[in-house]
Amino acid sequence: MFPYEIDDKPKEECGIFGLFAPGLDVARTTYFSLYALQHRGQEGAGIVTSDGQVAHIHKGTGLVAQVFNEENLSHLKGHMAVGHTRYSTTGSSVMRNAQPYLIETLHGPLAVAHNGNLTNAPSLRNNLLQRGIGLSSSSDTEIIVHLLSGAGGDWMSRIRTFMAQAEGAYSLILLTRDGIFGVRDPWGFRPLVLGKIDEGYVLASESCAFSTSGAEIVREIMPGEIVRLDEEGYSVVQGAHPQARAFCTFEHIYFARPDSVLDGKSVHHVRQALGRQLAREAPADADIVVPVPDSGTPHAIGYAQESGLPYTEGLIKNRYIGRTFIQPTDRLRRASVAMKFNPLAENLVGQRVIIVDDSIVRGNTSGPLVQMLRDGGAAEVHMRVACPPIKFPCFMGVDMALQTELIAATKSLEEIRQHINADSLAYLSVKGMMHAIRESDGYCNACFTGDYPINVQLQLQDKAQFQQVFGIG
């Protein structure tokens, strides 16, 4: 059964964590660090630990707290570990595709945790099948496992061989007999950061995962780099020639936790800067600024700072609503936004409201939110969006929806305004967004511009063919 989405946000595909730390309870440290990466995937979690000889694994569906307990953590022994939190696009594939993947090789155990999406996965998959290698899942992580285990040489040269074949987004953490490896694709689509703790070194998708283990940021892993963690400490080599950098802008806009540092920048500060830029580009004659909580909050604070208008809460969020596998009836579907938000009438009555959201994907919740503010007594509702209109799908590891489902791909600004019944509507410009991030290039903006950093024409055909053959995406 497909999960029913109550929100209207793009979905990140995974959070990854790994560490090499003799003397530390690596399973428990990974468990608490995965908690901090829960926002990057809520449908599955897993941990593999090892002493270099024997590997132990536990993984399952659900939130980190649902997958692990004292009993199963106590079996995860060793001095190194790799962990994963997963978002998946279909309910049925959750367990089959759960990570980390673990296999036994002639060179000891190999466990792989992956964040991203290989854009040439279909052709890599076909190559493996033609070589007689069977595959058990739709996950491109399984392809990575086979490419690494089937190559020759030591682990470092196997990783280089893999990087020479792979295209697209991949931040990887590998557990091997020799230590932990971190790998970032040559475009640098998805983040990967190195940290130091007393007992060793850690790797994570985001620096927010370091707070639970007391780790300090050492440096971000740069595009095309391989980092190795072992008893000697850490070492970094260039595994593949870096391509024109294409860090995902959406990490700053929505995905990453506000207390993370990405590309040397505080995510919280970037989001406030996006809000301030939005206020400069799209002012409105209004009385108050209200966020769509929680993801729109820093953007709304920035908008209020720049506009001089008071920031206040106008929508109260039920923080315990996630994805549900129960399909609501049509009537409940229309009302489902009310499961997640309630208007705070005391702040809204008679007010001209600017409501700030970080993004609009399908546009299925903005209309009900506008109506909710009106029902709460707002005299006018002006919608402001802290990123440009999303018009193109993502092939680099983000579940953005089909292009035909993206409201900005099929409707004009005025049509969207009418659709959500706002008094006015404005998005941040691409130029303004990059100005707020304080970068002129080095970022992927393909979902806004259609200007993909890698050739996706072939991938579009491959993806359709792949879905036809395997019935899964």
Which residue ranges make up the site for ligand SF4 (CB under 6 A)? 10, 189, 248-250, 394, 396, 398, 400, 444-447
Nearer to ligand SF4, 142 or 185 (CB): 185
Residue 174 CB neighbours (<10 A): 27
Kindly name the residue from 14, 248, 387, 444 that is annotated as catalytic. 14
Least distance to ligand SF4, CB of residue 171, Å: 12
Least distance to ligand SF4, CB of residue 258, Å: 18
Nearer to ligand SF4, 289 or 444 (CB): 444
Nearer to ligand SF4, 115 or 249 (CB): 249
Nearer to ligand SF4, 189 or 311 (CB): 189
Token pair, residue 73, equals: 């953590």
Query: Which burial class, exposed, middle or buried, applies to 1 when counting CB atoms under 10 A from its CB (0-12, 13-18, 19+)?
Result: exposed
Nearer to ligand SF4, 108 or 242 (CB): 242
Least distance to ligand SF4, CB of residue 314, Å: 28
Least distance to ligand SF4, CB of residue 449, Å: 9
Catalytic (active site) residue 14: yes
Least distance to ligand SF4, CB of residue 356, Å: 20
Nearer to ligand SF4, 17 or 189 (CB): 189
Least distance to ligand SF4, CB of residue 408, Å: 13
Residue 7 CB neighbours (<10 A): 17
User: At 334, which amino acid appears?
Assistant: R
Query: Which burial class, exposed, middle or buried, applies to 198 when counting CB atoms under 10 A from its CB (0-12, 13-18, 19+)?
Result: exposed
Could you give the CA distance from residue 343 to residue 86 in angstroms, rounded to a whole number? 32
Closest by Cα among 167, 43, 18 to 97:
43
- Report the catalytic residues: 14
